[in-house]
Amino acid sequence: MRTHNNCMSASTLKTSSLLPTAGVIALIAFALPAQAEDWRGWNIHPDGYPNTVALEEFAEAVEEQTEGRVSPRVYNNAVLGDQSDAIEQTRNGALDFANFNMGPMGPIVQETNVFSLPFLFNDVEHMHTVMDGEIGERFADALEDKGLVVLSWFDSGARSLYNTQHPIKTPGDVEGLKIRVMNNDLYVDMIAAMGGNATPMSYGEVYQSLTTGVLDGAENNYPSFESSNHYEVTGYYSLTEHLIIPECLCVAKSSWEELSEEDQAIVREVAEEASKRQRELWVESSEESRQIVLDHGVEINEVDDKGAFQTLMEPMYEEFIANNPGTGELIEEIRATE
Ligand code: BDP
């Protein structure tokens, strides 16, 4: 935690001829305002991305409403490290806040792996209902046990496959394709079940690997497909919509605990607003990105029989449930949430 004091320092208060007595020091300490908390925030996305806009507005509103007691700054484009590292850094307090996806969170907070099961949620609205309810609170508790305080949940739409070779309409079309996935072994199993070869890789390395043929494709939502420029080097986007993964706006537990109750309440409220804002921007941005990639000449295709992909995931579910006691019931609970 870095702190700074935006008032005059003790040395400017003391007279040059006298050393301050203990009483004077106590007086000075009393007169100085509480130290401001400089918060460093990790963000993987570029300027203008819905999450970036929401995070920047969050930072500004926190600074304003806490009257400078908390002064957050967002660092975009993963300049503070890749997502798995940033999760660790936030857990140990080297970073103060971040927007994380529950995909790369899985290896660190095991409970969140359930969100990496393909076709878990019916649609984005279903995901929101689950995350905004009691089940979402249970996940927030699991994250807090690992040092991350969840303030609110963001959207990240539905992820679909894209590649340089051909449209994907059936699992047979994935056969032999080298597909980049986020860092989580469950995605390796997912792509293998479809007949492809998965390579876990940091987001920032994907563009280059697509241009050199190290990869044939990857998978993501419209705003990321567009803002990462992957659409410039892949001709086909196929609406498999196989993953709907929640994201959090999280604060390092150590940074959180340094705040007064009053400031915690302010930050929480501002984060709720940020989530609303992010979700609204998400809808607009998805449509804009879809249009940009279409205009560029990317072929977008519907997948008529998503059930064919879903059926292939059954062994993955069975293995997951067998390895993670209690998750069978949880999956049923999620599916039954309306
Ligand atoms: C984006 C997520 C981001 C992930 C990225 C990825 O918002 O957190 O790191 O996908 O594929 O949609 O790595």
Domain of residue 211, residue span? 159-244+299-336
How far apart (Å, rounded) are the C-alpha atoms in residues 315 and 338?
A: 26
44 C-beta closer than 6 A to ligand 1? yes
Does residue 26 sit within a domain? no
What are residue 273's phi and psi, to 5 degrees?
-60, -40
Question: Which pLDDT value is given to residue 36?
Answer: 81
For residue 292, the model assigns a pLDDT of 98
Residues 142 and 283 in one domain: yes
Quick check: 168 and 308 in contact, CB under 8 A? no
Tally of CA atoms within 13 A in the half-sphere of 325 that contains its CB: 0
**C-alpha to C-alpha distance for 264 and 252, rounded to whole angstroms:** 13
- Ligand 1: residue of 203, 229, 241 to mutate (most ligand atoms within 8 A of CB) is 203
CB proximity list for 92: less than 8 A, separation 6 or greater: 147, 252, 254
Does some domain include residue 256? yes
pLDDT digits (tens, 9 = 90+) for 190-231: 999 999 999 999 999 999 999 999 999 999 999 999 999 999
Q: How many domains in the chain?
A: 2
Is residue 29, in this structure, part of any structural domain at all?
Answer: no
Element (H, E) at 194: helix 185-194
Q: Which amino acid is at 324?
A: N
Nearest CA to ligand 1 atom 2: 101
Q: Looking at the structure, do residues 109 and 212 belong to the same domain, yes or no?
A: no
- Tokens encoding 238: 């196929």
**236, two tokens:** 């086909």
Tell me what pLDDT residue 8 has.
Answer: 38
- Residues 70 and 259: beta-carbon distance below 8 Å: yes
CATH number at residue 163: 3.40.190.170
55 neighbors 43 (Cβ within 8 angstroms):
yes
One-letter amino acid at 102 equals: M
Measure the N-to-C terminal CA separation of the chain; round to a whole number of Å. 41
Query: Residue 256: what pLDDT?
Result: 98
Q: Tell me: do 255 and 194 sit in the same domain.
A: no
Give residue 34's pLDDT: 57
Q: What is the pLDDT of residue 21?
A: 55
On whether both 229 and 85 belong to a single domain, the answer is: no
Helix, strand, or coil here: 236? strand
pLDDT score at 187? 98
Per-residue confidence of the chain (338 residues) as pLDDT tens digits?
A: 555 544 433 333 333 444 555 555 555 545 555 578 899 999 999 999 999 999 999 999 999 999 999 999 999 999 999 999 999 999 999 999 999 999 999 999 999 999 999 999 999 999 999 999 999 999 999 999 999 999 999 999 999 999 999 999 999 999 999 999 999 999 999 999 999 999 999 999 999 999 999 999 999 999 999 999 999 999 999 999 999 999 999 999 999 999 999 999 999 999 999 999 999 999 999 999 999 999 999 999 999 999 999 999 999 999 999 999 999 999 999 999 99
The residue whose CB lies within 8 Å of the most ligand 1 atoms, and thus the one to mutate among 83, 154, 230, 242, is 83
